[in-house]
Structure 1
């Protein structure tokens, strides 16, 4: 919602005064007094019509009513305000097929590129970034629409369809595209719930481009800005301000960070940054959770049991190694993982380190209640687990001995 809002601010500036910074348009000179007041008034009128229209009738979509009312007012009074035609012409024709690889110029005068490894190396990074942004935007839109309609969309189907459509579009000189939150929200809020809405929108867009371009180009930009402002109001998560005060500090920090990065950079970068920071925060929090409950064994006389609580992974290995009393423990020690999980290679090395220290004291360590995935992880590590009487259902307290010197634990 913030990105959509900021994108509309350019319409309140002098045409041609802004500079492309690589992440959108910035700078520029704000409109003068009369022009600014006219723009603000038309935007406010559009928003008012959209707000009032559903209370009168739902036969006509509120955004369409707002655009028609403001456009009629501007054309009827002959007001000199920026219109769609001033921004860009939408008149066009059916595209022709073209092969994008070769020598010279192709469709619309665009240069052709040779089909070789060098070309692939140049375009691949940009293609991956654009694909990531498009897929993330589409999946976010799919999730948002699903929350409103109460229907679950097919994420895989959406990704495959988007990839095939963008690939096909490239052979007709078109640009890649993706689902857009703003347009989708207008569609849903106007009553669109099925594929017919999307197909109808595409057909009407085609009709406008082929036959009604002069009419569409007369629409004031202020009307479109008003529509998008109403989308911003409808999609912004206003309850996030309450959530920020209730969620853990790390989660609140991630929310704010992703929001800022989205505005300053783009959605793909923001998602990557958010995932990395969330992973680090998760590792930090879970590293402090690991502890052990000590008790005597009821199945092996004289043995001591350490019931491990919390995940064992790279962040908690140091704490895990320090849980044990290597000198004071009896000859047999059982480490019970019923409430824990062995996650990664660092966890395996930590187990071997513990086994090595007990071995140095002339004592034996056994592992108990390993989950199936933990057992497979330990087995793939080599001969770390030996003498195991495998219980496929893990319903019994099966003990596994540990062989040291395999993974380099200290």
Structure 2
């Protein structure tokens, strides 16, 4: 049954209580505290100014909760987008990022309207693990300069060149900056053992900012790097658009749309398992699309469902989209009132936060676990991982999907085969169901000019060569060709074309074709093509091979 395109907020407000509102407010405030340092850190590492991350968390976060198909999804900027966003800004500038974000939002809305929410989940797990782990490595490598205070004019975009530049600059490492980064990292790791409610990243941000101010440490901060930060929300604007820019940004936009869709739906599935709920995947995609369009119009960066923030929301009592909306409103208050204080935040602290994000994203246990999978899955995993790290996320997803598709087709072709049925040999073959075969021997079969072929498995373009090869080997004494299709669940257009060639060949050689045991989907394909009528319902189609052989009038 199709899911309705109706926001979960409408459903959850029925019977909404004061007690639940209180829980949602508490959860929303705590999630906002988690989102604050993450949003700033992700914006800086994406190549935009710090407040852009907050703008995204406020605008997109509110809309994802207000319109989304999940009860508890928390939306905002995530580490998955950092690599692609940095690349877009470096190549096309901020206007290019705005256009790509809006285009991605339109694509996500289209996917939702076309009811593709369930299809998105079919992206192979090795691809998801490969590019997620690759993104984690890229995020980690991008934080080395600020964590150690290396004196570098610019950091190369490419992975190998980046580490080569780090090696050349290692002598410029600043002990004070590194000390702040290490303190922040230790606090983030150790704090959960002290208190589970207040996030360690926020505590690290407050303590290290205080240390830098009190001790007047000469380390890079948001203020020293970016200057004065504005507390106001930007006014919406459309970027300058040309057809050439749309063409050049289509690939990145598709990647943002796919990445955002996959991450948001995976987050929603995780949330469903924790609360015993059921999200509306298509509505979630529409909401994600609207949120990204709005984020782009206000100069923000791409947004999606954030698994860590969603889990924190659930653990702190959030059970309706109200919690996500509260989280966005709290971030708005922080932006309007406390944004000037952000200038004291050390960049080393933000790097420590993102290093932990990279570690949590790496999924190294899942990565290692996949080495127990078939070799084809391992190859998809490694190709996607290394292309993500060494080249580009867009290329990685494209190559990974193509490779996975080819390997899937090969697997299907391996399990699909065409065999000639020898009625004498079937007596020796325990795998043959003798009751389904006619009571004649192979000599009688040859005398009557009967040839029987059985197709096993999906009949698609990867298996048609086997079928046509078998047909071409028909002897000139063949008068009747019986195709046993009881083991064919589905056939495609290429298989249909092969069928047409087979019927044409048999027609020229005056061989009568009979189809036995055909299933529903292949039957519908033959009916739509006209081959069903051409063969004849009574003369061409039979329930079994036995019935096709012993038909009267032969």
Output the TM-score relative to the length of structure 1. Answer: 0.77
Distance 2:305 2:352 in 1: 17
Does the Cα contact within 8 Å between 1:311 and 1:341 map onto a contact in 2?
A: yes
Change (3 A) 1:59 1:176: closer
User: Which residue number in structure 1 is paired with residue 467 of structure 2?
Assistant: 320
In structure 1, which of residues 38, 60, 84 is the aligned counterpart of residue 222 of structure 2? 84
Does the Cα contact within 8 Å between 1:289 and 1:310 map onto a contact in 2?
A: yes
Does the Cα contact within 8 Å between 1:44 and 1:226 map onto a contact in 2?
A: yes
Does the Cα contact within 8 Å between 1:327 and 1:361 map onto a contact in 2?
A: no
User: Which residue number in structure 2 is paired with residue 185 of structure 1?
Assistant: 308
The alignment status of 1:58 with 2:205, answered yes or no, reads: no
Distance 2:155 2:187 in 1: 33
3-state SS of 1:239 partner: helix
User: Which residue number in structure 2 is paired with residue 248 of structure 1?
Assistant: 374
Larger helix fraction of residues: 2
User: Which residue number in structure 2 is paired with residue 277 of structure 1?
Assistant: 403
User: Which residue number in structure 1 is paired with residue 527 of structure 2?
Assistant: 379
Per-residue deviation, 1:21: 4.9
Distance 1:349 1:60 in 2: 64
User: Which residue number in structure 1 is paired with residue 362 of structure 2?
Assistant: 236
Does the Cα contact within 8 Å between 2:145 and 2:166 map onto a contact in 1?
A: no
Per-residue deviation, 1:326: 1.0
Distance 2:214 2:495 in 1: 74
The alignment status of 1:370 with 2:496, answered yes or no, reads: no
Change (3 A) 1:199 1:134: farther
Aligned positions of 1:123-162 closer than 5 A: 123-126=245-248, 128-146=250-268, 148-149=270-271, 150=273, 153-162=279-288
**Runs of 5+ in structure 2 lacking a partner?**
1-135, 424-435, 549-554
User: Which residue number in structure 2 is paired with residue 224 of structure 1?
Assistant: 350
Distance 2:209 2:542 in 1: 73
Change (3 A) 1:40 1:141: farther
Does the Cα contact within 8 Å between 2:222 and 2:342 map onto a contact in 1?
A: yes
User: Which residue number in structure 2 is paired with residue 6 of structure 1?
Assistant: 141
Does the Cα contact within 8 Å between 1:141 and 1:179 map onto a contact in 2?
A: yes
**Runs of 5+ in structure 1 lacking a partner?**
101-111, 114-118, 401-410
3-state SS of 1:322 partner: helix
Does the Cα contact within 8 Å between 1:139 and 1:155 map onto a contact in 2?
A: no
3-state SS of 2:243 partner: helix
Per-residue deviation, 1:315: 2.2
3-state SS of 1:311 partner: coil
Change (3 A) 1:288 1:365: same
User: Which residue number in structure 1 is paired with residue 153 of structure 2?
Assistant: 17
Output the TM-score relative to the length of structure 2. Answer: 0.59
Distance 2:211 2:310 in 1: 24
Farther-moved stretch of structure 1 (75-84 vs 342-351): 342-351
Distance 2:370 2:235 in 1: 52
Count the aligned residue pairs: 377
> What RMSD, in angstroms, separates the aligned Cα atoms of the two structures?
3.7
Does the Cα contact within 8 Å between 2:149 and 2:348 map onto a contact in 1?
A: no
User: Which residue number in structure 2 is paired with residue 259 of structure 1?
Assistant: 385
Change (3 A) 1:389 1:13: farther
Aligned positions of 1:314-353 closer than 5 A: 314-323=461-470, 325-327=473-475, 330-353=478-501
Does the Cα contact within 8 Å between 1:39 and 1:81 map onto a contact in 2?
A: yes
Distance 2:377 2:480 in 1: 43
User: Which residue number in structure 1 is paired with residue 209 of structure 2?
Assistant: 71
